[in-house]
Amino acid sequence: MRDCKGRFAPTPSGDMHIGNAFCYFLAWLAARKEGGKLVLRFEDCDTLRMQRGAAEQTMSDLAWLGLNWDEGPAPGEESGPYFQSCRTAIYDRAFDELRGRGLVYPCFCSRQDVRQAAAPHPDESSPVYPGTCRTLSGDEIRERSRLRAPAWRLRVTDETVEFLDGLYGQQRCAPAAEKGDFIIRRADGVYCYQFTVALDDALMGVSQVVRSHDLLSSTPWQIYVQRLFGYEPPAWLHIPLLLDDGGRRLAKREKALSIRQIRRCYTPEEVVGRLACLAGLQSGPEPCGLEELVPRFDPSALRREDIVLPPDFFARCRE
Ligand code: GLU
């Protein structure tokens, strides 16, 4: 059996909110319950979306909550760097390997081209790629490259990806039928989320991924990439989303429920107690310490439905 290693994988595009904290809280408990370690990795490939200072603020917020990690951006980096923006050489190597194996090809289609050429698909926003550029000749590629830089797609086979999620159960996906060949490197050279996450989790030795269920549908792509390189995928635990008291998804731009704001009005134990209550680890929001929750953590106490924050849960932030 592999040693247990979990991870926090924030995107430093703004202040961390209570929904992010809920996810990291559960990732921390799941790893510590197994006597495991945690790695902190910042997903900042798409540098234009990032906010200056957000990574430092996130580290400060995690530390304030007591959600410590064993590997991350600090001296003694073991399997770093821990900022994706500094890992391009690693992604380049993996990309070159796939290219050498004939598994990627340049694609010159615009989004509109794909939409128009694709067969009708229930999810309009991500139609199945019809394979337009799959068989371009060398000359055609050279010709088109003069006009625009290509994105790069991974050739997917007909295989089905199956995996067991710790909360949502057995999952099944046929990548070729659901999306077709997918982009792993954009035309501007930025590597795509599914590719970088899959590689980083594998290269950093992550054996357990705990994250919100909005990423459940991304998991087969990540498994697909990991298998191409012969990596063993981690165990998956997708968790419900925390919604605001109006039932809306929390967003980084709304400041009221950011940890930065909550820190002004609550102690770490008060916040941890509330998170524990939301996770079904205690019946009320009484303050409590993280360590005492470790033996009590039980993923099966989680419900699959999204969790709506009770209206007055962080009332002091509004005063
Ligand atoms: N970076 C993503 C986020 O902050 C999480 C990605 C993942 O957990 O795989 O939402």
Predicted local confidence at residue 119, as pLDDT: 65
Query: Which residues, judged by CB distance below 6 Å to any ligand atom, belong to the binding site of ligand 1?
Result: 9-11, 43, 197, 211, 215
| Dist CA 70 CA 40 (whole Å) | 8
Predicted local confidence at residue 56, as pLDDT: 96
Pair type for strands 104-107 and 37-40? unpaired
What are the per-10-residue average pLDDT scores of the chain (319 residues)? 93 95 98 97 92 96 97 76 95 98 96 74 74 96 95 96 97 94 95 97 97 96 97 98 92 84 96 96 96 94 93 86
Ligand 1 atom closest to Cα of 211?
8
Predicted local confidence at residue 113, as pLDDT: 78
Which residue stretches of 148-258 are H helix? 175-178, 193-203, 219-228
Q: How far is CA 11 from CA 47, 84, 194, 242, in A?
A: 10, 10, 14, 17
| Dist CA 203 CA 165 (whole Å) | 21
Predicted local confidence at residue 48, as pLDDT: 86
Residue 86 and residue 47 in contact, taking contact as beta carbons nearer than 8 Å: no
For residue 10, report the distance from its CA to the centre of ligand 1, in Å.
Answer: 6
Predicted local confidence at residue 76, as pLDDT: 60
Ligand 1 atom closest to Cα of 197?
9
Predicted local confidence at residue 99, as pLDDT: 97
For residue 204, report the distance from its CA to the centre of ligand 1, in Å.
Answer: 15
Q: Pseudo-torsion of CA 225, 229, 234, 239, nearest 10°?
A: -10
**Amino acid occupying residue 269:** E
| Dist CA 187 CA 37 (whole Å) | 36
**Nearest alpha carbon to residue 165 among 6, 300, 2, 3:** 300
Predicted local confidence at residue 308, as pLDDT: 95
| Dist CA 206 CA 231 (whole Å) | 11
Q: Residue 71 forms beta bridges with which residues?
A: 39
For residue 8, report the distance from its CA to the centre of ligand 1, in Å.
Answer: 8
Specify the long-range contacts of residues 168-176, CB closer than 8 Å, at least 24 apart: 168/213, 168/216, 168/238, 168/304, 171/216, 171/219, 171/220, 173/217, 173/220, 175/220, 175/221, 175/224
- Residue 259, classed as helix, strand or coil, is helix
- Residue 167, classed as helix, strand or coil, is coil
**Nearest alpha carbon to residue 128 among 116, 137, 136:** 116
For residue 161, report the distance from its CA to the centre of ligand 1, in Å.
Answer: 21
Query: H/E element holding 56?
Result: helix 54-65
| Dist CA 68 CA 304 (whole Å) | 26
pLDDT in tens, 172-198: 999 999 999 999 999 999 999 999 999
Which mutation among 214, 215, 216 tests ligand 1's pocket best, with the greatest number of atoms within 8 A of CB? 215
Ligand 1 atom closest to Cα of 23?
8
